[in-house]
Amino acid sequence: MTNPLLTDQLLPRFDAIRPEHVEPAIRGLLDANRACLAQIAASDAPTFAGVVVSVEEMNHRLQRAWSPVSHLNAVVNSAPLREQYNLCLPLLTDYHTDLAQSEPLYKACTAVAQREAATLDPVQRRVVDNMLRDFHLAGVALEAARKDRFKAVMLELTTLQSKFEENVLDATNAWSRHVTDPAELVGLNEGIVEQARRRAHEKRTEGWLLTLDQPTYVAVITDAESGELRRAYYEAWSTRASDQGPLAGRWDNTQVMDDILRLRHEAATLLGFANFAEYALATRMAKSVPEVIDFLRELARAARPAAAREFAELEQFAGARLEAWDVTYWSERLQRSRFSVSQEDLRPYFALPRVLTGLFDVAERLFGVRITERSGVATWHPDARYFEINDARGAAVGSFYLDPYARPNKRSGAWMDDCVGRKVDSSGVTNPVAYLVCNFLPPNGTQPALLTHDDVVTLFHEFGHGLHHMLTRIAYPSVSGINGVAWDAVELPSQFFENYAWNGDVLRTIAVHHTTGAPLAAERQRQLMATRSFHAGLATMRQVEFSLFDFRMHAEYDPARGGRVAQTLAEVRQEVGVVPVPAWNRFPHSFGHVFAGGYAAGYYSYKWAEVLAADAFAAFEEAGVFDRATAARFLDSILSRGGSRDPLEAFVEFRGRKPDIAPLLRQHGIAA
């Protein structure tokens, strides 16, 4: 029987994939790829088509098999699948390291770059240059013993990063709060309470069972009038996978973090870099450690006075000294007092079906595309849906899956990922496919899923990533869509698209009461839009705090002192922190972006790209936010180019100049 991971059809066969299919499929593909690489290396006359295109095709095929496995591990995690996933991680790391350290392949690529320099177009040249750069970053020039050590380090890192994420997931799933007194639930929205009641009923217990999924945590910390409940949730959330809190010592990531930092530093120094931060910047838009540090401190200088004023005002409003678990609650109360706007009160106006219609309308107005849901497509869960994107002529250009709701055994947060990358070759065009994943409250009976406006912004953000991936026009998978894009520029399209969630025309379309059909009153819309700059100083300083912590931790690592995770965070908080944090807070232990994801020495990218996005949107504000000519330039210069060109060059082509921080400060209401 054919392994469903090895199908030639465009979309994964989610209805047929089982854990037992994973290892045989991946091992078979890796063996086939290695045989193909041996043939390429044996060629006496390497060419772009024979070397580069062949490698692109091999990696594309491997990615198409591994992508659904990785995705399933994140959205329907189970013990058998996790076992197979972890079994394949070292195999893949081993393969990619062998590929990147292959001297015959490196020599073949070098020969192509030299012999065909005059005939390669700019995109082909970018593909070759990236390959040569990646050979260097993988240690192709190292002597044998150091090359073997580098490979071993990368293999161990892959395992540790997966372990970090598993520990966080297990710790999140293990905690719950059994409530028997309804007074403890005052302030929470009906959906959360009903979900907790049903969960308790399923467990054959009285009352309500609250879990640590992200929507429930956010709801409690924002709206629960019970300070005791807020504290319990804050402590459980901020001590996950650590030596503190209600599950202290279980799934503790302390040693995992230290080992990850040690190995990252060793990998970087093996290649001749002073530290992992320098190594990470080799593929980024920012070019030096001081450039990033200066950027973050410039933001801190601009935002910290505003943040200090905001926090002092908040404590004055609350009439008490605030603890960390009180800040979000009282911020919501102050925002309601000032603007008569509550995230929870807005839920009835943001039904997911209508929000999706408005979201798609924005893309259609800007880029002339048409987005249509298709039924009969195999998915991994009944919640998941499938959509196709056609251009103005009706031709298919891409598609995506949407998995919007929180549930057990699904990773928290929201993300977009690559299901299939765009590829054009002699066999035809393979259109890109994306995954869009969120963790919203699910529908309740006949009531549709109701979003907060924060949820709406999240959805627009992830869809911006999706457009970047799906509207690409690049033929080579390694630089099409989100692939090959400098990490500190990859958030540009997503943060740019967030602006439309705050646009008055868009809000008038999507903000309609789901039962009465009444639009959100004009005055409430105005007040909602005014909240965008509410506590922007505090929000900016929070991101600066996370970014400085991440970057300094990697840039200042000293093997003699170890990771210094807690010490570095304490120093950063001393420098830029505004909100007091309890000593038992263990935020780093669940900081998956940095310890399990791709943001190591790169969390600054959010603010870096936010500068780019605000400046790019300023061009639309100058011409009209739905101006088709400006949208066409944005599509041509940035969205469609993927990683095929330098991001600064692409930005300058669109904007006519280098990025400016001023539009972001104006957008946040922070004086420059």
Q: 542 burial class (0-12, 13-18, 19+ CB within 10 angstroms)?
A: middle
Which DSSP letter does residue 589 get? G
108-160 pLDDT, tens digit each: 999 999 999 899 999 999 999 999 999 999 999 899 999 999 999 999 999 99
Q: What is the pLDDT of residue 445?
A: 86
Catalytic residue positions, numbered: 462
CA angle 301, 457, 298 (to 5 degrees): 10
d(CA 391, CA 369): 4
Q: What is the pLDDT of residue 194?
A: 93
Q: What is the pLDDT of residue 426?
A: 85
Is the pLDDT at 671 greater than 70? The verdict is no
Is the pLDDT at 672 greater than 80? The verdict is no
Going by pLDDT thresholds of 50, 70 and 90, the confidence category of residue 191 is: confident
Is the pLDDT at 12 greater than 70? The verdict is yes
Q: Please give the class, per CATH, of domain 254-347+537-595.
A: mainly alpha
Across the range 581-589, mean pLDDT stands at: 97
Is the pLDDT at 53 greater than 70? The verdict is yes
Match 């933001």 to its residue by tokens.
299
- Reported as type and span, the H/E element at residue 337 is helix 324-339
443-472 pLDDT, tens digit each: 988 999 999 999 999 999 999 999 999 999
d(CA 220, CA 54): 52
- CA-nearest of 217, 234, 215, 223 to 185 is 223
The domain segmentation of the chain, as residue ranges, is 4-141, 175-238, 254-347+537-595
Q: What is the pLDDT of residue 439?
A: 96
Reading the block at residue 438, the tokens are 């969120």
- CA-nearest of 139, 138, 141, 114 to 125 is 114
Considering the chain, what percentage of its residues have pLDDT values greater than 90? 92
Going by pLDDT thresholds of 50, 70 and 90, the confidence category of residue 669 is: confident
Across the range 571-582, mean pLDDT stands at: 96
Q: What is the pLDDT of residue 88?
A: 96
Is the pLDDT at 42 greater than 90? The verdict is no
Is the pLDDT at 182 greater than 80? The verdict is yes
Torsion from C-alpha of 636, 638, 639, 645, nearest 10 degrees: 100
Cα–Cα distance list, 640 to 68, 503, 572, 651 (Å): 24, 24, 38, 13
Q: What is the pLDDT of residue 278?
A: 98
Q: Please give the class, per CATH, of domain 4-141.
A: mainly alpha
318-337 pLDDT, tens digit each: 999 999 999 999 999 999 89
